[in-house]
Chain A
């Protein structure tokens, strides 16, 4: 097991600058996910670590030793391809044994290792089959098995479950998590699917256009996105983001989204002054940070429910005010039908402020309004604890639970 360190990696494909000064340390036994849109450089970075792609400059260190000039074969890193890349002219057994034969492992040991890996992946009954006769899920299990037999220092996975159908993908995700839990190999996993990233990663590395946008635990990147790109890339449905103006009204702050004005704690003014940023801002708020009420309440602004998307456990409701749409998350059935007039406000604790020039988050953390909130939560619980103040959908107490 090993620690992987990237120091100032740069890489061009012709005139295209695909990796821009990437530095990162993946700790021993850590599961890191590279997340980003296609063409962001995540796969190229992974291939560079494996030795399948040369880098222009920088260092790749494995356990402190530079490996960027070693051949792929000498790096002791395993790679799982999106298309599995199982050798079609070999049986499953031969596929699994292939990496061991590269290092002249005695036949008896090969047999023993292959059988034990096959057993842990539940593919013992397939050892004599040819890859072409297998289902996608089994092929992927074998591809992962082939990566594990050699007990490599690190395991690199390039969208390994991207070709599977949704149900199988979910199943394999759990299996991958279990495998990492059992083997504890240092792993880097590339995906463009934020759900995969959130559910698997110890830390997520968000990339865009060859640049690291943010590195953090799933909770960190979700709750505290470092910039507009991360804020909008992570989270589904996507975060509401709009240019805003912050003013001081009667000793409290007020943010304006076009015609809609929402109250904010007075602290906001001071915080913005501290950052020397009052103008050219964007406000970001996740749908669960938009609190909806059917009855008029102080601080809530009148809006009209537009589209309602039921997700089973919750609804996503588009709230309209003029041309502006604010997407909110409510318990399912809370807003009975499109066109219903409702009232909304923004939970300051979930409000993000971004500098429009740089896109960077101003890092402002506000407190929730000091008032008694209903007990239940309308939003799906996040995987982390200590978030009791987070993601509460407001309802008038009298109506609570009616739609749920």
Chain B
């Protein structure tokens, strides 16, 4: 072993590792619960104690994406010629609802999921974009009343958002923004932009001005210097800010519930709304939630290098 360490240090390391493992298990338990429930047969979802070992099945996801109706007591079904995924539905005493032309009717979930993606991605891009430019302005130029303006920007976050839910609802109704993508995008961008300005200002302040000044004397305009030098240098900060903004917009529940009902409804208010229709099928809710968790996980995973990389990798001697 090249590493020289005393037994005390090794013991300390082991304790630390054990603590990390325990904490990780505690945090991952709900995710495991949702993930396992999403693949359980319906009758095993609510057993006590919970069923750990079971034959996983895909039927909750089939149910999640389709509209179903209860089989009538003497309804004839052609089990033999039905596709495999529909046979699983028959087993639960249901069949998939079809239009007059025989096309499968989809549930509301796929549209809600796409709505969530549209709203979260667009508002994240807008909030991070505006936040970065604003932060750059505050960081690099003399702005009259800079401290007051920054405080004002921050103060928009001091009120619990739900306090303004009713006025927002009335304003949105008057402005015709109710149940529209644009309405939610504006709202989430407004939520996040103050946060993005403050976070990005910290990151941009860390980038030495000399980089841009060097680019300016090297023959580039201020905008080119911003694009070619500041943005790449701020990538870590932009990634971190984007992850936070995306998570906020993706998970937002209260305003989505109040301001949307169908056309622009996002997944968070939709998933629990299924509880109300008949006996709650927890496997379908778990499947919807499980899929809903994936984009954030993927997004964070893709940006992990930026998130982990320190800021102080520069070639400036401080």
Chain A residues within CB distance 8 Å of chain B: 50-52, 71-73, 75, 77-79, 81, 83-89, 98-99, 102-103, 130-132, 134, 136, 139, 146, 150, 163
Contacts and interface: CB of A to CB of B under 8 A. Distances in A.
B12 interface: no
B220 interface: yes
B315 A88 contact: yes
Contacts of A132: 313-315
A271 to B, nearest CB: 49
Contacts of B162: none
B233 A146 contact: no
B272 interface: no
Given A52-B213, A72-B213, A87-B233, 12 more contacts: A72-B216, A73-B216, A75-B217, A77-B217, A78-B217, A79-B213, A85-B213, A87-B215, A87-B315, A88-B314, A134-B315, A150-B218
Max chain A C-beta neighbours (<10 A), residue from B232, B235, B313, B317: B317
B314 A163 contact: no
A73 B220 contact: yes
Interface string B228-262: 01001101000000000000000000000000000
Contacts of A71: 216, 221
A194 to B, nearest CB: 23
Contact of A73 (B208, B221, B317): B221
Max chain B C-beta neighbours (<10 A), residue from A79, A99, A102, A139: A102
A104 B277 CA distance: 65
16 contacts: A71-B216, A72-B217, A73-B220, A81-B214, A85-B213, A85-B214, A88-B316, A89-B232, A99-B218, A103-B219, A130-B315, A131-B314, A132-B313, A132-B314, A139-B315, A163-B317
B103 interface: no
Given A89-B233, A136-B317, A79 B214 contact: yes
Contacts of B317: 83-84, 136, 139, 163
Given A52-B213, A89-B233, A83 B219 contact: no
B218 A84 contact: no
A150 to B, nearest CB: 7
B210 interface: yes
Contacts of A139: 315, 317
A72 B220 CA distance: 8
Contacts of A99: 218-219
Given A83-B208, A87-B211, A102 B219 contact: yes
Contact of A51 (B210, B216, B220, B318): B216
Max chain A C-beta neighbours (<10 A), residue from B217, B224, B233, B318: B217
Contacts of B221: 71, 73
A102 B227 CA distance: 13
Nearest to B315: A131
B219 A86 contact: no
Nearest to B232: A89
Contacts of A146: 214, 218
Contacts, number: 81
Contacts of B313: 88, 132
A342 B233 CA distance: 65
Contacts of B216: 51-52, 71-73
A-B residue pairs, 8 tightest by C-beta: A131-B315, A102-B219, A85-B210, A99-B218, A85-B214, A86-B315, A72-B216, A88-B314
B160 to A, nearest CB: 40
Contact of A81 (B213, B232, B233): B213
A81 B214 CA distance: 8
Max chain B C-beta neighbours (<10 A), residue from A72, A134, A146: A72
A131 B219 CA distance: 21
B98 to A, nearest CB: 56
Interface string B295-318: 000000000000000000111111
Contacts of B316: 83-86, 88
Contact of B318 (A50, A52, A79, A83): A83
A131 B208 CA distance: 15
Contacts of A52: 213, 216-217
Nearest to A84: B315
B317 to A, nearest CB: 5
A72 to B, nearest CB: 4
Nearest to A98: B218
Nearest to A140: B317
Contacts of A163: 317
B231 to A, nearest CB: 10
B216 to A, nearest CB: 4
Interface in B129-151: none
A83 to B, nearest CB: 5
A400 B221 CA distance: 66
Contacts of A85: 208, 210-211, 213-214, 316
Contact of B217 (A50, A87, A89, A134): A50
Contact of A98 (B215, B314, B315): B215
A134 B316 CA distance: 11
A3 to B, nearest CB: 19
B219 A87 contact: no
A89 B220 CA distance: 17
